[in-house]
Structure 1
Amino acid sequence: MFVAAVEAGSFAAAAAKLNLTRSAVGRSIARLERRLGVRLFHRTTRSLALTEDGLTLFEHARRALGEVQLATALLDSGRHTIAGRLRVSMPVLFGRLRIAPILIRLADAHPKLELDLNFSDRLVDVVEDGFDLVVRNGQLQNWPGLIARRIASQPMRVCAAPHYLDGAGAPESLADLTGHHAVLYGRPGRVRSWLFPQPSGPATEIVPPSRMRFDDLGALRDAALGGHGLAWLPAWLIQDDVAAGRLVTVLDHLPAHAFESHALWPQSPHLPLRVRLAIDALAALVAESTFRAESGRSPASA
């Protein structure tokens, strides 16, 4: 009201501009003067002039209101157009091969969209680290203040190089795994068990004999391609190798365990359109999955 009164030249003109009464504008400015402890206007019956304190306040207040109006316009634009920076954190390999290409295509379609992608297997703090969106694999934890949406299912397959199977034979049951070498995924103090769902009860957990352990799925896949043993890997990671005959899946008659992937973002009543469309684009991964956990076959062969 103060800025409007200065720009309009009178309380009455400011009131008309703001759809208020003249007395409402006068009372508000009087309260402002009392709170600041200064006089803002020299008042006469015919004119309204700023004091030195009033001039100082006006110069800063006008700039501040301009910044607020600009920020409001940018936010409103972000709700109706795909623009601004999108910060996303994702697992390294899954992110590089499956998530980043989706977001890059989205950016190609919307030239005003900026991507800031973070590849990390550590659990980031979405709010504190300033991310709009994070993608995480595995069991979904309870994170207060975050919304989650399932975007993909990653069925796991036991596989090996053909020349390894030529020498060791192909396992036909879970009991046969104990007679094979395996390459395993593990981190200090923990090795990931291979999980096999059962019709009733918990999944069967198996850790086959191994002398090679990796904390990187890409390196584990390379070891399997080199013939160093059986590997338990996501179907999406090995699908090209299986199609080309570089790897062969085994135990396909058994149900496949699947890891779920979720997108998580801070709860907000006004989700920017760029974030909403990114979530929708990533959710299409479910439909794009080449291998399905229910059947273990590709859509083309199903």
Structure 2
Amino acid sequence: MTDNLKDIPVFVAAVEAGSFAQAATRLHLSRSAVGKSIARLEARLGVRLFQRTTRSQSLTDNGALFYERCQRALEEIRSAESLLETGKHQVRGRLRISLPVLFGRQCVAPLLIELAQEHPGLDLEMSFSDRVVDIVEEGFDMAVRNGALPENSLLVARRLGEHRMVLCASPEYLRKKGTPETVADLRQHTAINYQRAGKVLPWQLADNEGQPHSFIPASSLNMDDLQVIADTALAGFGLAWLPCWMVRKEIREGKLTPLLKQAPDVRFDVQAVWQQTPHLPLKVRVVVDRLVSHLPSVMSVDV
């Protein structure tokens, strides 16, 4: 019976990944191993589970029925494991987490590495991408995201803290171009814009009276890498709107000057997101609790 059951998680992964190749990547198997596992399962059941062509893969009616029951059974097993883990207070198993590239590298990864050292049974798999991954479809246990989240009934979110944004420029640039005192003054200055997925993201600034302004400043330089934007601002090219945690060292050392300090701060929530489940796995709970308790101090900076 044990040998018969080992092919079922592979089958479920193949359905949820959308292809044998993607399932192989998630399971750290070869594509041929996934194919053989599905073939064994089909032979044992005496039915075809997938309708396969050279370009696509879809479930047969029997496959869809079998997947529904298998997915339900595996969820029950995961819930049972979670309850047992909680009782033993032991954190173990693989946890796949998606992180924004720069924020994840500078602020989150050091905390998770420290946590992994405390729990030798925890296998952390950190994936760094500024793309908003589909946690369910791509097989992640959780993700850390910045900013507002879209409505999604399949996901649960917990606020980890907030990060402030700062408008800044190098002293050299300000000596040449002058220091802007109001939001309206920014029209006379050179901006360095951040773009994601080919779209330039607007600056969101408050004026001296606290009124919010969202706009895309005219710029001849648009980049999809925040670190390069910071480096360009340091080189004296123009104004940059960046997270405080990213440029705190440069501001403290006087290499960048914060601007419009009299205006209220603009802040964005940082949140942990995971798939809704009746029993939250202990490994997810421990990671989220660590981030809630430690991440705010990592992000805090007085500029």
Q: Same fold (TM over 0.5)?
A: yes
> Is 2:185 aligned against 1:184?
no
Selected match of 1:146 from 151, 155, 167? 155
Counterpart Cα distance in 2 of 1:253 and 1:206: 19
Distance 1:215 1:241 in 2: 21
**What is the aligned-residue identity percentage?**
43
Does residue 292 of structure 2 align to residue 283 of structure 1? yes
C-alpha distance in structure 2 between counterparts of 1:91 and 1:286, whole Å: 16
Give the equivalent residue in structure 1 for 2:37.
none
| Inter-partner Cα distance in structure 1 for 2:222 and 2:208 | 30
1:262 to 262, 271, 295: 271
* Aligned-partner SS, 2:221: strand
Find the aligned partners of 2:78 and 2:215 in 1 and give their Cα distance: 56
The question of whether the paired residues in 2 share the 8 Å contact of 1:183 and 1:231 is answered with yes
Decide which of 107, 122, 130 is 1:121's aligned counterpart. Answer: 130
Partner of 1:217: 226
Contact 1:77 1:83 in 2 (8 A): no
Aligned mates of 2:195, 2:113 — CA distance in 1:
31
**Residue-by-residue CA offset, 1:63-90 (whole Å, 9 max, x unaligned):** xxxxxxx989965553321111111001
The residue identity in structure 2 corresponding to 1:123 is V
Residue 240 of structure 1 deviates from its aligned partner by: 0.8
| Match among 241, 261, 271 for residue 250 of structure 2 | 241
Matched, 1:208 2:210: no
Pairwise CA distance, 1:207: 2.6
In the alignment, the residues of structure 1 paired with residue 209 and residue 170 of structure 2 have an alpha-carbon distance, to the nearest angstrom, of 32
**Does 2:88 correspond to 1:78?**
no
2:10 aligns with none
Counterpart of 1:172 in 2: which secondary structure? coil
How large is the Cα RMSD of the aligned pairs?
Answer: 2.3
Letter in 1 for 2:179: A
Contact kept in structure 1, 2:169 and 2:239, CA below 8 Å: yes
Q: Which moved more, 1:158-167 or 1:71-80?
A: 71-80
5+ residue gaps, structure 2 = 1-76
Deviation at 1:152, TM superposition (A): 2.2
- Look up the SS of the partner of 1:221 in the other structure: helix
1:22-33 aligned within 5 A: none
Residues of 1 paired with 2:211 and 2:260: CA distance? 19
Compared with structure 1, are the counterparts of its residues 187 and 71 closer, same or farther at alpha carbon in structure 2 (3 Å cutoff)?
Answer: closer
For 2:232, give the aligned amino acid. Answer: A
Do the aligned partners of residues 101 and 166 (structure 1) sit closer, same or farther apart at CA in structure 2, a change above 3 Å counting?
same
2:194, 2:162 → 1: CA distance?
19
Distance 1:249 1:170 in 2: 10
Task: Tell me by how many angstroms 1:209 deviates.
Answer: 2.9
SS in 2 for 1:86: strand
| Number of the residue aligned with 1:156 | 165
* Paired AA for residue 85 in structure 2: G
* 1:155-183 deviations in Å (ceiling 9; x for gaps): 11110111111111111111111111111
> Secondary structure in 2 aligned to 1:124?
coil
Residues 211 and 171 of structure 1: CA distance in aligned 2, closer, same or farther (over 3 Å) = same
Q: Distance in 2 between matches of 1:192 and 1:167?
A: 27
Q: Spell out, residue by residue over 1:261-288, the C-alpha distance to the aligned partner (whole angstroms, 9 max, x if none).
A: 1100111122121110100111132244
TM-score normalised over the length of structure 2: 0.68
1:185-237 deviations in whole A, cap 9, x for unaligned? 12465222111246999721233331111011111111111111000001111
Q: 1:172 to 1:274 in 2, by over 3 A?
A: same
- Which structure 1 residue ranges, 5 or more long, are not aligned? 1-69, 292-296
Q: C-alpha distance in 1, partners of 2:199/2:110?
A: 31
Q: Is the 8 A contact 1:138 1:260 kept in 2?
A: yes
Secondary structure at the aligned position of 1:211 is classed as coil
